[in-house]
Amino acid sequence: MLETLTGQQDEQLVINMGPQHPSTHGVLRLVLNLDGETVTEARTVIGYLHTGIEKNLEFRTWTQGTTFVTRMDYLAPIFNETAYCMGVEKLLGITDQIPERAQAIRVMMMELTRISSHMVAIGTFGMELGATTPFLFGSREREMVLDVMEYITGLRMNMAYVRPGGVSVDLPAGAVDKVGELLKVMPGRIKDMRKMLDANPVYLARTKDIAYLDLTGCMALGVTGPMLRAAGLPWDLRKSQPYCGYETYEFDVPTEKSADVYGRYLVRVAEMEESLKIIEQALDRLSGPLKGGRVMVDDKKIGWPAQLALGPDGLGNSPDHIAHIMSGSMEALIHHFKLVTEGFRVPAGQAYASVESPRGELGAHVVSDGGTRPYRVHFRDPSFTNLQAMPATCEGGMVADVISAVASIDPVMGGVDR
């Protein structure tokens, strides 16, 4: 019971939403102060999914680090890997030596991942508002992307496919056709999602003018990604601070002026359409001028795995490489053994590398003391930063709108609690 200025008693209710509530993205806890159904105060409580990934990296080689970082934002694993590897490559001074084919593969894989991540964001959002069809549609489309991922990398998620110096293995035979088939089907599927939600009166009632956060608020809180672009600022690292050759691709940065939940939805759908354009351009390069090119740096003291091939027992070292290290060169065998067991050394220093993930700026601050393991790795995860906007978007609104607000932020707790 709270006493007001007039001496009257005002009854407020403190409720917990989560940490297992499906509308709080699983393991996020919200503590809400309610006056009736109006939220007067909102607080986020995190840490329920703590993995210690950043600390674990200090006890693994630089290459093994990709296996850990890929599990942070588990809806965007390729982005985690690319940011980390770009940081390591900066310290090694080999950023300009990454083969063009490897860069094009990274771009294609990141944009495929962006589509699959946004499909989860829009699909789960629909389900949280009580509509199961968007979730079924989003899951179906994401499954198509994951099938392609599995075909190329061997795994659906957490692939550890991007490595310092390039990517672990070249595209398998038929991968270009697989992606080409997806490009034929996906535009129609995105259009179906638009038909279902863009002008849906119930959806509009739950999203328009809800969880308003203008550009000033976004800038004050360090918000990036679709939330920031829905407030009208076309800030996208692929355009403003290009990496992996994004400056050579033609695409637009979608923005909206509404600064509400509906605007964030529109930005995400438009981003998927732009991603399809980028994937098509990358595919043309991979099947054309870059066909047959290298996917790992030439420096044999850094590039690992050296040569992989698909054999009857799955993915492993190529027969040529095995023949070379086992019978052709003792020095090569020693080097291979040292590279696998100990790893390469990275010059002392620190570097920051960032990519535009589906949720905003994902940056890796990588520190080396000159050894074969990271001294420190810290990630600037957009889910963690954007989650600060939760009180600003919820306070003063209805408790039902808290669900819309959190879903429009699209936090992934693996990235928050890393």
Tell me the β-bridge partners of 366: 351, 377
Under the banding of pLDDT at 50, 70 and 90, the label for residue 306 is: low
pLDDT in tens, 230-242: 999 999 999 999 9
pLDDT in tens, 359-407: 999 999 999 999 999 999 999 999 999 999 999 999 888 998 999 999 9
CB burial of 248-277 (b: ≥16 within 10 Å; e: otherwise) equals ebebebbbbebbbbbbbbbbbbbbbbbbbe
Residue of 195, 225, 162 whose CA lies nearest to 409: 225
Spatial separation of the C-alpha atoms in residues 228 and 309, rounded to whole Å = 43
What pLDDT is recorded for position 10?
A: 67
- The residue-averaged pLDDT of 82-98 equals 94
* Helix, strand, coil percentages, rounded to 5, for the chain: 50, 15, 35
For the cut 70, the answer to whether the pLDDT of residue 8 exceeds it is: no
Residue of 142, 79, 98, 163 whose CA lies nearest to 360: 79
Angle of CA points 70, 72, 73, to nearest 5°: 95
CB burial of 322-343 (b: ≥16 within 10 Å; e: otherwise) equals eebbeeeeeeeeeebeebeeeb
Mean of the per-residue pLDDT values of the chain: 90
- The sign of the torsion formed by the CA atoms of 178, 184, 187, 188 equals negative
Structure tokens of 294?
Answer: 């290298």
User: Torsions phi, psi of 407, nearest 5?
Assistant: -65, -35
Question: Does the reported pTM lie above 0.85?
Answer: yes
User: Torsions phi, psi of 16, nearest 5?
Assistant: -100, 130
Residue 271 in contact with residue 134, Cβ under 8 Å? Answer: no
Structure tokens of 180?
Answer: 């080409």
For the cut 50, the answer to whether the pLDDT of residue 5 exceeds it is: no
Residue type, 79: F
Structure tokens of 245?
Answer: 């050759």
Lowest-pLDDT range, 89-98, 298-307, 325-334? 298-307
In the chain, the percentage of residues whose pLDDT exceeds 90 is: 69
What pLDDT is recorded for position 97?
A: 92
User: Torsions phi, psi of 363, nearest 5?
Assistant: -120, 145
pLDDT, greater one: 323 or 260:
260
User: Torsions phi, psi of 81, nearest 5?
Assistant: -65, -45
pLDDT in tens, 154-209: 889 999 999 999 999 889 888 999 999 999 999 999 999 999 998 889 989 999 99
Tell me the β-bridge partners of 361: 356
Structure tokens of 350?
Answer: 């620190």
What pLDDT is recorded for position 313?
A: 67
pLDDT in tens, 220-233: 999 999 999 999 99
What pLDDT is recorded for position 9?
A: 56
User: Torsions phi, psi of 303, nearest 5?
Assistant: -65, 105
Lowest-pLDDT range, 13-22, 56-65, 271-280? 13-22
What SS3 class is residue 363?
strand
Torsion, CA 128, CA 134, CA 135, CA 138, rounded to 10: -140
- The residue-averaged pLDDT of 83-97 equals 94
Spatial separation of the C-alpha atoms in residues 30 and 278, rounded to whole Å = 38
